Structures are given as C-alpha cells and as structure tokens.
Structure 1
Amino acid sequence: MGRATGARTRWGRIAAVTVTVVVCLGYAPIAMTELWPYARPGAPALGEWLLGRAVSPEFVADAVRDRTGPYTRSLVPLIVHSVLGGLLMLLGPAQLLSAVRRRIRLHRAAGIAYAAVVYVSMAGAAVYLARTPPGEAFSGAAFWIVLATILTGTVLAVTFGILTAVTGLPDLHQRWMLLGYGYLMTAPLLRLEWGALPALYPGLDLQAVNRVALMHLGALVVLGALLASRALDRRADHPFVTGGWCPAPVLAGAHLAAVAGLLWLGRGFLEHGPEGRRLLLAHLVPYVVIAAVLHLGAARAARRGAGWAREEWRTHLVALCLAPALAAGTEVVCERALGLDPLTALVAGAGISSGFLAFAANVVLSLRVLHGREAARRRSAPAVATTSSTATTAASTATTAP
C-alpha cells in the first residue's frame, strides 16, 4: 500500500511539473510578442495569430480595438511588463525543477533572478494601472481591480518568500513562492480561456469572455499552488506546529458564512438575466469542485494521522468558505464607494475573493509556524541556561578545591 501511494505521489509530481513546464514554455513567446503590434502595426504576434485561428480574426480585431487607446498611453511600461512576464514563465519552472532536484546553487541563482524580474515586471504593470482609470482599462473596471489585486499579491508573496528563506524557514518559503507563481499563472490560463470559451458561448466578445474567466481563475490558481505545496511537502507532522486552529466549530461557522455569501451572490447575479446566470454558473461549479477537493484532502490527512497536512487543508478550506462572504462585502464597497454598476461590482468581488483569502490562509499558516518555532526556542532556553549554570558551578568548584 505504501509503495503504491509513493508511486502515485511520484507520478503526480511528474505530471504536475510536466504540465507547468509545457504551459509556461508555450506561453513565454506569446507574452513576449503580445504588444509588438501596438508598437509597430503589422508586427507579428504569436498570441494573436493563434487566437485568430482558434476563434476568428474578427474576435481578435475586436480585442485589439478595445485595448489600443489605454495601451498606447503606457506602451513602454507594458512592453517591459510583458517581455519580463515571458521571462518569468521560464524562470518559474527553473526554480521548481532545481528545488525538486535539490540543486541549491542553481535554485538560489534562479530565485534571485526571478525575484528581481518580478519586481521590475510588476512595476511596469503598476505604471499602466496608475495611468489608466478603471473604467478605461482593458475589459473594464472589474478587470482593473483584479489586475491590481494580482499585482499586489504577487509582489507581497515573493517578498514574504524572500524573508522566509533568509530566516531559515524553507517550507514557508516554498509556499509563498508557489502562491506568487500561481498568481502569475492567471495570464497563460486566461489566454487558454480566450480560445476555449467562445466555443462554449458563441457570440461573446472578449470583454464578456474575460468576465466569465474572472469568476474562477483566482480560485483555480491558488488551488494549484496548494496542491503543489502538498505534493512537495509530504510530512505528516510539523516540528513547530501542534494542535489545530480550525476545530469543528470554526469549520461549521465558515460553512454557514459560505452558504450566506453564495445566496447573496446568487441573488445578485440572477437579477441580471442570461449574463448573470452565465457568470453565476462559471463561479459556482468550480467553487463546489474546489471545496470537494479540499474536504477530501483534509479527510485523507486525518485518516493517516497527518496533523500538519490536515491543518493546511482545513485552513485553506476555511478561507474558501469565507470567499463568498468577502465577495459580497467587496461588491457593496465597489458599488457604493467606487460608483460601479452592480454587475461589475459583483464580478470584481468574486474575482478577487479566493486569491485574497488564499493569501490570508498562507499568512495564518506562517504565523502558526513562527509562533511554534518561538515557543520551541523558549522551551529550550531554560534547559540551556540550567546546563550552562551547572557547568559554571562545577568549574568554580574544581578551581577552588584544595
């Protein structure tokens, strides 16, 4: 049984790494050439060429017209962002493979390069967002809000990844870097949805396709980061973590919050006719599937007595349960404080909630580990002090003895 489980785990890791590498290597040249036509009309762009053949040239032409104005005002920062974004698609797998194969020097060098490129690339995106009013952004205000959230989350995740590496917490370093890379994976996955969703929903323009994608992309990428973390960390227990911060009452309360939040979102989306029903379905089906995966992971960990794995699954499950409530609250804030229309506010709330709360779950897990390490250090300090005092007394006695 143990050998079969180990084989499944090994093949699961191989499959995950293979898919990641293929997607990233395929997207890198698309990202690097995406903005060439805006700088020089008629210049080749691999992404536009592929999308035109997957959907239609008219679909691509509409997308280009939607972006020309806002992109032209910030073309240089966006080119920096897209070219370096393509480079990140290559550096990410290099980091992952060097970590799996324990090539420490290569991993450290790739990590330094990756962090530097993240900061510069995200700075280019920040300039674009600062110069572009939300209502004028590509695909509207909801897309602007989600992009700003992804940018912030990526920069903070990489920063926390650096800090945990420097402070000697490799397990937390791994989780933060995977989460940050998960946020970046929204870009290639969005392009895949550009090619796939028009076949499912004929006649939708790119802005409508983007709204559908925003309903679940954030939840999918943070689930991918969690699955990768669990695949790389097979420990049953953590040396610094005991007990649990997610007992049954907390889980029950989180599930009640999930039901209330989903009812609020459902009522809001259903008020907007066919588009609202389409968006609700795009949000609800992946949400239920992801919740089932988290429940199954926690149950399996409990059966094999893996306390640390169970706690991580449960923490992320609580975060997912709270996501609809956060989305509902964000919808109210966006509508009343930012003046967005109700549907755009709903899309923005649903688009950022899962990614934001997965970040919060990582913060909770990090605090647990830091608290446990500090408690362990304090427990060992008196023993060290007692040993030192005993040694000093013995030395003094030996010195003064006749």
Structure 2
Amino acid sequence: MHRPSRVPVRRVATVAVVAVCLGYAPIAMTDVWPYAWSGAPAIGQWLLARTVSAHYVSDAFATRVGPYRHSLVPLLVHSVLGGLLMLLGPVQLLTAVRRRIRLHRATGVVFALTVYASMAGAAIYLARTKPADAFSGPAFWITLATILVGTVLSATFGILAVLTRFPDLHQRWLLLCYGYLMTAPLLRLEWTALPWVVPGLSLTQVNQLAIMHLGLVVCLGALLASRALDRRETVPGVHGSWAPWPVLAVAQLTGAGALAWIVRTYLPWGAGGHRLLLAYLLPLLAAYLVLLLRQRAAGRQGHGWAREEWRLHLVALCLSPAYSAGAALFLEHSLHLDRRTAFTAGLGIGGGMLAFAATAVVSLRVMYGRELRKRERLAATARPRPAASPAPAPAPALSVTHPREQTS
C-alpha cells in the first residue's frame, strides 16, 4: 500500500493566502461605490447580508453615509488601489520564490507606488474624520492610523533595504508590509464568522473584538513566512545573542506583571469586557507558544540565526502587554478617552507595534554583522606583513673526480 503523500504546510498556507487575496480584491474595489453612485454593487455587503443578515449590515453601514461622502474621492482611491494590492501581493511573493527577477522588480515598483497612493487616500480620510465618527469609534480610528503608519514605514524600509543590498531585510519588511495590508480581508472574515460563534453581536462589537488581535496575528504570519523563506543557519558577522536568557527572563516577568494588571482592569467590565479580554489573551498565548517552541527547536538543531530571530521577536512579544498598558494610560489622559476605549486601543496596537520594533532590531543585527565583517577585512588588509627573511647563500659546488684521475 502506498502512503498518501504529505502536503507541505507552506504550500497550503500559500494557497490559502492567495485565495483570500483574490477573493477579497473585488470586494475591496467595490466597497465604497454605493456611497458615490446610488444602486452601485457592493459585493462585500451583498455577501455579508446573505451569510449573516440584512439587518446586521444595514445597522452597521447606515451611519457611514456622512463620514464616507465627506471624503469620497480619497476613499475611492484607497479602496480601489487596496484591491489592486491584494492582486499584486501574491504576484510579488510567487515571482520572488520562483526567482523571476525582472518581473519581480517591475511589479515591485508598481506595488510600492500603489501602497503610497492607497495609504495617502486613507490618511486623508482619517484626517477629515473625527475619531468619534470613525467606524466603531475612537479605538478603531487609532488602530487604523497605526496600521497606516506601519504599512508606509515597512514599505519604505523594504525599499531602502533593497537599494543598500540587503535582500533578506527587504524580504522581511515587505512581508510585514503585506501583513498589515492583510488586516483588511481578515477583518471581513471575522465580520462573517464571529456572529455565528457569538450570536447577537453587532458589527461594531465585532470590530472591537477584531482589533484586539489582528495586528498580532498578521505580524506573526509575516514572521513565519520570513523564516520559511530564510533557510540560512548562520549570518556573516552575527555572533552571540542580543537576547540572552537573562533578557528573555526579564521580558517574561515584565509581560506577566502587565498581563495581570490588564486582566484585573477588564474583569469588572462584565460580559463585554470578558469577550474583549479573551480576544486579546488567546491569540497572545498562541503566539507566545509558537515563538517559544520555534526558538528552542532552532537551538537544538544548531540553527543559530533562526534561534536569534525567533528569540528577538519573543522578547518583543513578552514586552507588548507592558507597552499596551502604557499606551492605554497615555491615550486615556492625552485624548481624554474613557478607560475601556483607551485600553481597547492600547491592546489593539501593542502587538503590531512591538513586532515592527522586533523587525527593526533584526535589521540592525544584520547590518551590524555586515559592518563587523567589513571592519575585520579592513583590519586584515591593513595589518603589516612580517619582513621576509634573506634567502640563504647557495652552497659551493663540489667537484667530484673519478678515482683513476686522483691516482694519476
């Protein structure tokens, strides 16, 4: 009997991402059309009304008429180009994997310009919309603004990395950029799935649950993709660790203390607060276990570079609850938000921002390694060579005569 062939997890993940992107592209492109032209098709709302309920959709989008029409052109640019990015992303990934260099470079230029144009439309919309008038309130507005900044910065760092000949860092930053973009289709999936898991939720409540973990989830996916494409066991110039066990232990203790305070804050808020807390804690615990097990496995296999990258991201993940709690307090006092809204926003942006910081530290690690190797080469070439010792004088030639000649 022949055993069934095992399907690689990477291939399944790639097919799933491509399918989500291709399915979401027309939804994104037509999302804002009904606000510009009466009766225009909105594929996403049509599907949502038939998978959940028409009442669920009408209640959610009835309040969007005013804010969307106030910034209609920027939103049209953002949504149409956002759909185009959903198509360009798989093209970029597949051309990089298959080493179609010229096509990858050409589509990469289009991708970068599209990111900037689409995010410019989103920035104009956010600038013209008060946080209280945003979809699902100020916490959602703050999360959208953070994702926008992260998307633009990661795309910019990816461009700088390829211009300075760091292809591995270029790959990491662009995958992180696309991870931020993937929050849009994943949010739509939660619009459909969560009302079936927790009946009676409004779309506003679904949004609040989703922002508690979407940033963390997409950044973890970008990291898994980066590590799957990078099979190097070592990186030139990278020795030791910037995150030794004492640093990791301190980060874990700090994160545990912050989590205890976050749980204590959410528990008195009833069923709604408990749902928000679970939406944050469960993905955080899953991500922690993935990073912890991966860095241990890399250490056992002797893959020093993989272990270092996993560990740097693990430290950042452990510190994210402390960062989120601090951000919540800052937002509460600076923007005069109520504590529940401030904590929802702080926890929503913490995972994504710390993953961005971890990617920046990984980039510095690689750049420092190259600089270290360069200095070592310069030191080797500048080191004076020992003076050559004089060659020994040749020995005098010996004349050999035949015995008969000597007797004569």
SS at match of 2:8: helix
* Greater fraction of residues in helix: 1
Greater displacement, 259-268 / 340-349: 259-268
**Structural mapping, 1:347-362, within 5 Å:** 347-362=344-359
**Alpha-carbon distance between aligned partners in 1 of 2:141 and 2:181, rounded to the nearest angstrom:** 15
SS at match of 1:210: helix
Aligned to 1:109: 106
**Alpha-carbon distance between aligned partners in 2 of 1:278 and 1:168, rounded to the nearest angstrom:** 46
Greater displacement, 159-168 / 195-204: 195-204
Instruction: Tell me the TM-score normalised to structure 1 length.
Output: 0.93
User: Conserved in 2, the CA contact under 8 Å of 1:70 and 1:138?
Assistant: no
Aligned to 1:342: 339
User: Conserved in 2, the CA contact under 8 Å of 1:241 and 1:372?
Assistant: yes
Shift of 1:385: 3.8
**Structural mapping, 1:186-265, within 5 Å:** 186-265=183-262
Shift of 1:240: 2.7
User: Conserved in 1, the CA contact under 8 Å of 2:236 and 2:373?
Assistant: no
Aligned to 1:366: 363
Aligned to 1:162: 159
**Alpha-carbon distance between aligned partners in 2 of 1:287 and 1:81, rounded to the nearest angstrom:** 30
SS at match of 1:243: coil
**Does residue 78 in structure 1 map to residue 75 in structure 2?**
yes
User: Conserved in 1, the CA contact under 8 Å of 2:88 and 2:107?
Assistant: yes
Cα deviations across residues 72-103 of structure 1 (Å, max 9, x unaligned)?
Answer: 11010000000000000000100000000000
SS at match of 2:77: helix
**Alpha-carbon distance between aligned partners in 1 of 2:274 and 2:73, rounded to the nearest angstrom:** 39
Shift of 1:66: 2.5
Match of 2:323 among 319, 322, 326: 326
**Alpha-carbon distance between aligned partners in 1 of 2:371 and 2:340, rounded to the nearest angstrom:** 47
**Structural mapping, 1:2-401, within 5 Å:** 11-386=8-383
SS at match of 1:272: helix
Shift of 1:386: 5.0
Aligned length: 384
User: Conserved in 2, the CA contact under 8 Å of 1:236 and 1:308?
Assistant: yes
Cα deviations across residues 298-344 of structure 1 (Å, max 9, x unaligned)?
Answer: 01101100010001111111111011111100110111111111111
SS at match of 1:34: coil
User: Conserved in 2, the CA contact under 8 Å of 1:51 and 1:60?
Assistant: yes
**Alpha-carbon distance between aligned partners in 1 of 2:113 and 2:268, rounded to the nearest angstrom:** 45
SS at match of 2:366: helix
Shift of 1:384: 2.9
Shift of 1:204: 1.3
Once superposed, what is the RMSD of the aligned Cα atoms?
1.6
SS at match of 1:157: helix
**Alpha-carbon distance between aligned partners in 1 of 2:295 and 2:302, rounded to the nearest angstrom:** 10
SS at match of 2:297: helix
**Alpha-carbon distance between aligned partners in 2 of 1:382 and 1:314, rounded to the nearest angstrom:** 31
**Alpha-carbon distance between aligned partners in 2 of 1:286 and 1:386, rounded to the nearest angstrom:** 54
Aligned to 2:397: none
**Bigger-Rg structure (1/2):** 2
Q: Which amino acid aligns with 1:366?
A: S
Cα deviations across residues 159-198 of structure 1 (Å, max 9, x unaligned)?
Answer: 0000000101000000000001000000000000000001
Greater displacement, 330-339 / 265-274: 265-274
Q: Which amino acid aligns with 1:242?
A: H
**Alpha-carbon distance between aligned partners in 2 of 1:384 and 1:82, rounded to the nearest angstrom:** 56
**Alpha-carbon distance between aligned partners in 1 of 2:92 and 2:235, rounded to the nearest angstrom:** 24
Q: Which amino acid aligns with 2:117?
A: V
SS at match of 1:106: helix
**Alpha-carbon distance between aligned partners in 1 of 2:27 and 2:282, rounded to the nearest angstrom:** 29
**Alpha-carbon distance between aligned partners in 1 of 2:75 and 2:237, rounded to the nearest angstrom:** 43
- Unaligned stretches of 5+ residues in structure 1: 1-6, 394-402
Percent identity reads: 62
User: Conserved in 2, the CA contact under 8 Å of 1:88 and 1:114?
Assistant: yes
Aligned to 2:391: none
Q: Which amino acid aligns with 1:288?
A: L
**Alpha-carbon distance between aligned partners in 2 of 1:29 and 1:384, rounded to the nearest angstrom:** 59
